[in-house]
């Protein structure tokens, strides 16, 4: 690959990132509190998406490494589950402090490793720390239950951590997503084995370092969090099959979710899946079109479009279709595609040549199926692609059905609400939906009928941690956020206590023997 045509930057971020990269040690697993090589000794490179240079390498985890991690998590669970909620809260806040203290380093390395523009990665650490603080504050009450009295009984419920859990994360925004899973697991009292994505393993190590140092400082044993690098088919698979791992929290592709469900069947794994999406943003002609335009453009071209909640299908009412798509196309053409470490950059390189090949293959697909490429539609060298808009698309085209996971938007026209709803629901996914209208009744009607786990009305995706996050159909199983996370990482137990007044049937006392009922009857005579 030639690097001469690739975008360059002279911003000081480049120098800072180069210094951090130079200091990066070859990555290692964290097993039971010890930094370790893979038992097989094999490694793989972690590559900079900008120019394909090697950033560092990571050990390729084996089933044996996973076994060591799972056993360590199992042993540590016996201690961690009994650490008080108040202490867990304190420790998780300390982890958040540690993340904030290394925020610049996390942002720069995340940008280097993923190709995500630094303007968006700046918040990676802040959001990661927020996730820890949010669940930290809920740790003391995570085990709370209900009182469910019945005649003659007191019933009460409590929640207990399920045990060691596996967390498997994707490459798109790895740091933030890892904290989104690991923080509630730890707050609940679970121990963790984390398997990060092989295409962006760097910041998982920073997170593990921060967590491990907090646990060490508190005098806790190693193994509360374990990190195993490696490929999905080997390390990931072994994690989902391990009998000591009680549950798997997975974020990634829908097809991988199916594999994991199969792999976990023998050990009856509880699974939580956050999978792919082909999220519609529906723009009615009565909407505030300026605001809608900003949101549509932001939700597909930010984070390189490598975002599960990206609004990758824009459904536009026919009367405004031409003008609105022209405005999107203009924005797409103006988008600053550049070096990810340049703060001006809006779209950086995609993660990996294989993914770039997948994204650009949809340019041909769009042409073949008769859509129009209104903006972009070009590979720019390396992993860089132009922000793209397809117009004149039909709902049954591949570009309207399949998750592309790049800065590529498909625009479809509709005439009325019923047609918009049919198109919105006519895909196998159901993660998020966005709706733009000033008609209040229509907004409610549509929001209730659209098949999605999350609906934003007159807004882009704005995060609020107590709200449920997750998808329907092929977009996932289960919800994160607020108490929903604890429902996954904990088991609810019911305890029934008799007040001593209920009657128990007497068996094995022989025919003709007095029964409780007959004695009662006698006494009543």
C-alpha to C-alpha distance for 264 and 195, rounded to whole angstroms:
15
| Residue pair 453/472 in contact by the 8 Å Cβ criterion | yes
Choose one: 9-17, 183-191, 236-244, 438-446; the region binding ligand NAD (CB under 6 A): 236-244
As annotated, the active-site residues are 274
Of all residues in the shown chain, the one whose CB is closest to ligand NAD is: 232
C-alpha to C-alpha distance for 175 and 128, rounded to whole angstroms:
7
Note whether 358 binds ligand NAD by CB under 6 A. Answer: no
**Least CB distance to ligand NAD at residue 329 (A):** 25
- Taking the least distance from each CB to ligand NAD, the nearer of 201 and 223 is 201
C-alpha to C-alpha distance for 451 and 10, rounded to whole angstroms:
46
C-alpha to C-alpha distance for 232 and 243, rounded to whole angstroms:
18
Choose one: 136-144, 203-211, 216-224, 254-262; the region binding ligand NAD (CB under 6 A): 254-262
- Taking the least distance from each CB to ligand NAD, the nearer of 56 and 256 is 256
C-alpha to C-alpha distance for 453 and 463, rounded to whole angstroms:
14
Choose one: 71-79, 270-278, 292-300, 325-333; the region binding ligand NAD (CB under 6 A): 270-278
Residues numbered 49 to 88 that lie near ligand NAD (CB under 6 A) are none
For 324-360, give one letter per residue: b (16+ CB within 10 A) or e. Answer: bbebbbebbeebebbbbbbeebbbbbbbbeebbebbb
Largest Cα separation within the chain, whole Å, is 104
**Least CB distance to ligand NAD at residue 251 (A):** 5
Nearest to 27 by CA among 58, 49, 67, 73: 58
Note whether 253 binds ligand NAD by CB under 6 A. Answer: yes
Q: Which two tokens stand for residue 311?
A: 């609004």
**Least CB distance to ligand NAD at residue 32 (A):** 21
**Least CB distance to ligand NAD at residue 233 (A):** 5
* Total binding residues toward ligand NAD, as defined by CB under 6 A: 32
Residues numbered 192 to 231 that lie near ligand NAD (CB under 6 A) are 195, 197-198, 231
C-alpha to C-alpha distance for 311 and 407, rounded to whole angstroms:
10
CA torsion angle for 371, 374, 379, 384 (degrees, to 10)?
-130
- Taking the least distance from each CB to ligand NAD, the nearer of 28 and 89 is 28
Question: Residue from 98, 163, 164, 232 that binds ligand NAD (CB under 6 A)?
Answer: 232
- Taking the least distance from each CB to ligand NAD, the nearer of 7 and 184 is 184
**Least CB distance to ligand NAD at residue 480 (A):** 8
Note whether 236 binds ligand NAD by CB under 6 A. Answer: yes
Residues numbered 167 to 196 that lie near ligand NAD (CB under 6 A) are 168-172, 177, 195
Instruction: Give Cα 456 to chain centroid, integer Å.
Output: 18
Residues numbered 441 to 480 that lie near ligand NAD (CB under 6 A) are 471, 476
Q: What angle do CA 120, 124, 130 make, to 5 degrees?
A: 130
| Residue pair 225/182 in contact by the 8 Å Cβ criterion | yes
- Strand segments (E) across 437-510: 454-457, 476-477, 490-498
For 149-175, give one letter per residue: b (16+ CB within 10 A) or e. Answer: eeeeeeeeeebebbbbbbbbbbbbbbb
Question: Residue from 13, 114, 179, 240 that binds ligand NAD (CB under 6 A)?
Answer: 240
Nearest to 29 by CA among 18, 42, 48, 47: 42
**Least CB distance to ligand NAD at residue 402 (A):** 10
Choose one: 25-33, 73-81, 250-258, 439-447; the region binding ligand NAD (CB under 6 A): 250-258
**Least CB distance to ligand NAD at residue 141 (A):** 25
Give the pairing of strands 388-391 and 372-375: antiparallel
- Taking the least distance from each CB to ligand NAD, the nearer of 252 and 407 is 252
Nearest to 369 by CA among 353, 393, 347: 393
**Least CB distance to ligand NAD at residue 171 (A):** 4
C-alpha to C-alpha distance for 121 and 142, rounded to whole angstroms:
31
Choose one: 7-15, 80-88, 275-283, 338-346; the region binding ligand NAD (CB under 6 A): 275-283
Binding mask 298-317 for ligand NAD (x = CB under 6 A): ----------x---------
Residues numbered 414 to 433 that lie near ligand NAD (CB under 6 A) are 431
Nearest to 305 by CA among 353, 366, 356: 356
Question: Residue from 259, 336, 380, 398 that binds ligand NAD (CB under 6 A)?
Answer: 259
Question: Residue from 116, 256, 311, 360 that binds ligand NAD (CB under 6 A)?
Answer: 256
Question: Residue from 120, 135, 215, 405 that binds ligand NAD (CB under 6 A)?
Answer: 405
**Least CB distance to ligand NAD at residue 98 (A):** 24
Instruction: Please enumerate in sequence order all residues whose Cβ is within 8 A of that of 100, keeping only pairs 6 or more positions apart, or say none.
Output: 125, 126, 129
- Taking the least distance from each CB to ligand NAD, the nearer of 161 and 230 is 230
Quickly list DSSP for 41-99.
--EEEEE-TTT--EEEEEE---HHHHHHHHHHHHHHHHHHTTS-HHHHHHHHHHHHHHH
Q: Which two tokens stand for residue 210?
A: 């921060």
Name the H helices within 139-226: 174-188, 202-217
**Least CB distance to ligand NAD at residue 83 (A):** 28
Residues contributing to the site for ligand NAD (CB under 6 A): 168-172, 177, 195, 197-198, 231-233, 236-237, 240, 251-253, 256, 259-260, 263, 274-277, 308, 403, 405, 431, 471, 476
């Amino acid at each position: 690959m030639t690097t001469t045509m690739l975008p360059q930057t002279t911003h000081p971020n480049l120098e800072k990132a180069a210094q951090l990269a130079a200091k990066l040690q070859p990555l290692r697993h964290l097993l039971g509190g010890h930094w370790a090589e893979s038992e097989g000794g094999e490694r793989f490179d972690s590559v900079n998406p900008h120019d394909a240079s090697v950033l560092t390498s990571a050990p390729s985890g084996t089933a044996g490494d996973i076994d060591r991690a799972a056993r360590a998590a199992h042993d540590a669970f016996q201690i961690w589950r009994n650490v008080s909620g108040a202490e867990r809260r304190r420790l998780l806040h300390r982890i958040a402090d540690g993340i904030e203290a290394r925020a610049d380093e996390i942002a720069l390395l995340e940008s280097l490793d993923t190709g995500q523009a630094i303007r968006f990665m700046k918040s990676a650490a802040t959001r990661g720390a927020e996730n820890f603080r949010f669940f930290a504050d809920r740790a003391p009450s995570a085990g709370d239950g209900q009182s469910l009295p019945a005649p003659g009984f007191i019933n009460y419920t409590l929640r207990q951590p399920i045990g060691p859990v596996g967390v498997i994360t994707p490459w798109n925004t790895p740091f933030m997503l890892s904290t989104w899973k690991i923080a509630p697991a730890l707050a609940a009292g679970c121990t963790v084995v984390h398997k990060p994505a092989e295409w962006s393993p760097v910041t998982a190590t920073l997170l593990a370092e921060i967590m491990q140092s907090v646990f060490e400082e508190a005098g806790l044993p190693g193994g509360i969090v374990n990190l195993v690098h490696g490929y999905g088919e080997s390390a990931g698979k072994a994690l989902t099959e391990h009998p000591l791992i009680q549950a798997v929290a997975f974020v990634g592709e829908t097809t991988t979710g199916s594999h994991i469900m199969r792999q976990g069947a023998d050990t009856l794994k509880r699974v939580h899946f956050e999978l792919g999406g082909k999220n519609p943003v529906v723009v009615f002609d009565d909407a505030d079109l300026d605001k809608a335009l900003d949101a549509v453009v932001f939700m597909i071209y930010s984070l390189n479009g490598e975002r599960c909640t990206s609004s990758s299908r824009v459904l536009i009412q026919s009367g405004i279709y031409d003008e609105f798509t022209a405005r999107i196309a203009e924005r797409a053409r103006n988008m600053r595609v550049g070096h990810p470490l340049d703060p001006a950059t809006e779209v950086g390189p995609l993660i990996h040549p294989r993914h770039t090949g997948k994204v650009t293959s949809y340019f041909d697909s769009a042409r073949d199926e008769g859509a129009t490429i209104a903006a972009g539609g070009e590979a720019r060298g390396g992993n860089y692609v132009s922000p793209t808009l397809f117009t004149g698309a039909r709902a049954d085209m591949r570009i309207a059905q399949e998750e592309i996971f790049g800065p590529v938007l498909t625009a479809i026209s509709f005439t009325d609400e019923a047609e918009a709803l049919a198109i919105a629901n006519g895909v196998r996914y159901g993660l998020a939906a966005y709706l733009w209208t000033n008609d209040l009744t229509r907004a409610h009607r549509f929001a209730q009928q659209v098949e999605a786990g999350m609906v934003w009305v007159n807004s882009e995706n704005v995060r609020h941690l107590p709200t449920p996050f997750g998808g329907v159909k092929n977009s996932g199983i289960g919800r994160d956020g607020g108490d929903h996370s604890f429902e996954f990482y904990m088991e609810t137990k019911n305890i029934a206590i008799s007040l001593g007044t209920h009657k128990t049937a007497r068996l094995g006392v022989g025919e003709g023997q007095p029964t409780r009922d007959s004695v009662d009857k006698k006494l009543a005579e």
